[in-house]
Amino acid sequence: MLQSGLKRAGRGMLDFLYPPLCIACRSIVSEPGSLCPGCWQQVEFLDGPCCACCGLPFELDPGAGTRCAACTANPPAFDSARAVMRYDDKSREPILALKHADRLDLVPGFARWLARAGRPLLDETDVIVPVPLHRRRLLSRRYNQSAELARSLGRISGKSVDQGLLKRIKPTPSQGEMPSVKARMRNVRGAFRVPPAAKTALENRTVLLIDDVLTTGATVEACARALKRAGAKKVQVLALARVVRPGSVII
């Protein structure tokens, strides 16, 4: 009781000295890592009906278990994927701030969103694994935003996090530099590997793969293939945001 009161008092003092700010517009909010009411209304959270596999949003609910045309024609290596929100002009700025501007203060709030959006996936999860960076990029960036999200999500959910289960072995160019989906797929082909010593830890386990943004799905597809080749029973994907291109939403 006393410890809880001290924590509340400490939090109150910090909020007085450094008021928590909206992660989008930087106006004062009640809780760190949150959005103000105005920005909240502008973010498109993906909590409606969606493809049972890749999480592509549906305008209308076609019923549980329905897959989009792409997943029906070419089932991905991962078993399911979900994202918190649509990647657009409103969500882009805070996500890029986490990725490139050392805004690690955004991690706890983002992890809470991941925990809410990914609750059904977390229920099945044995281990959380972040999409890894190649050591060269990690050295230049100093941290892996997906690993930071995974660690925070692990603390919230009580699930174990293991960054050693998947390695990026090829220093590929940024996926953002690739001109097409096929180019993105070629770019990450063979880029990921499970170290031999880690294969035992993957055997017959369900992995939750954490990424910041799903664009074409090429990166998580390559990761899922590597994890399943090493013995993972299931690979599910949870991301902060996903690109939803005009015309791709199923009506």
Answer whether residue 117 shows pLDDT above 50: yes
Angstrom CA distances, 125 to 23, 166, 181, 239, stand at: 29, 16, 29, 15
User: Rounded distance, CA 174 to CA 194, Å?
Assistant: 21
Answer whether residue 12 shows pLDDT above 70: no
Instruction: Provide CB contacts within 8 A for 72, sequence distance 6+.
Output: none
- Amino acid at position 126, single letter: D
143-186 pLDDT, tens per residue? Answer: 999 999 999 999 999 999 999 999 999 888 778 777 788 888 88
User: Rounded distance, CA 211 to CA 83, Å?
Assistant: 9
Q: Are 75 and 199 in contact (CB under 8 A)?
A: no
Q: Residue 242, SS3?
A: strand
Domain 43-242 class in CATH: alpha beta
**Confidence grade of residue 239 (pLDDT, cut at 50, 70, 90):** very high
Instruction: Provide CB contacts within 8 A for 124, sequence distance 6+.
Output: 206, 234, 236
User: Rounded distance, CA 188 to CA 219, Å?
Assistant: 6
Phi, psi (5° rounding) for residue 84?
Answer: -70, -45
Tell me the average pLDDT across 93-117. 93
> In this structure, what DSSP letter does residue 50 have?
B
> Rounded to two decimals, what is the model's pTM?
0.88
pLDDT at 65: 92
> In this structure, what DSSP letter does residue 32 have?
T
Structural domain boundaries in the chain: 1-42, 43-242
Structure tokens at 64: 């549980």
The pairing of strands 167-168 and 192-193 is: antiparallel
CA-based torsion, 129, 167, 83, 110: positive or negative: positive
Tell me the average pLDDT across 27-35. 85
Counting residues of the chain whose pLDDT is more than 90, the rounded percentage is: 67
What mean pLDDT is reported for the chain? 89
